[in-house]
Structure 1
Amino acid sequence: MKHISPQELEQQLKEGRALSIIDVREYEEVAHGKIPGARHIPLGQLLERMNEFDKNEEHILVCRSGNRSGMACQLLESYGYQVVNMTGGMLEWTGEIER
């Protein structure tokens, strides 16, 4: 499984890279803020909603600490998706927040 740090992701966003970011936290967690432009799909809905994103594109998965996004990465990889886990999750995110 590929990994990216919150700092690396923030830098790529500042550089204007078009990224697919999927936040797998629950609704009440996302209500406190998410990475700007991230798509919210709770982990429990991921299997039924994975057809909403392109299998040929790389997707960065985010959660609170990096554990749930790691599980989400394993799940999506098993279906042939290209995924990257943001280590440390939103607990280590120091960049902009979208509410």
Structure 2
Amino acid sequence: MKRITAKELNQKLTSGEEVNIIDVREDNEVAEGKIPGAKHIPLGELEERLDEIDKDQHHYVTCNAGRRGSKASGILSLKGYDVTNMEDGMSKWEGKTE
């Protein structure tokens, strides 16, 4: 499984790189702030909402500490998606949030 740290992903964003981010945290966690532009799909809804994820693009997956993101990345990889898990999650995010 491909991995990236919160710091590395933030560097991609601040350098202007276009990235697709999927946040698999629960609603109450996302309400505290998410990475700008991230698509919110709770882990429990992921498989039923696959049609919302472009299979032709690379995606970064985040959660709070990395475990749910790892699980989501595994699910998406098995379904043929190109994904990278943000291994340390939003608990280590120091960039902007919305």
Q: Does the residue aligned with 1:60 lie in a helix, a strand or coil?
A: strand
Name 1:67's counterpart in structure 2: 67
Matches within 5 A, 1:1-99: 1-98=1-98
Query: What are the superposed Cα offsets for residues 1-59 of structure 1, whole Å, 9 maximum, x if unpaired?
Result: 00011111001001111111000000000000001111100001100111111112110
Q: Number of residue pairs matched?
A: 98
Gaps in structure 1 of 5+ consecutive residues:
none
Identical-pair percentage: 51
Task: Provide TM-score, normalisation by structure 2.
Answer: 0.97
For structure 2, the residue ranges without an aligned partner over 5 or more in a row are none
Q: Matched residue of 2:59: which SS? A: strand
**Structure 1 segments (4+ residues) deviating >6 Å:** none
TM-score by length of 1: 0.97
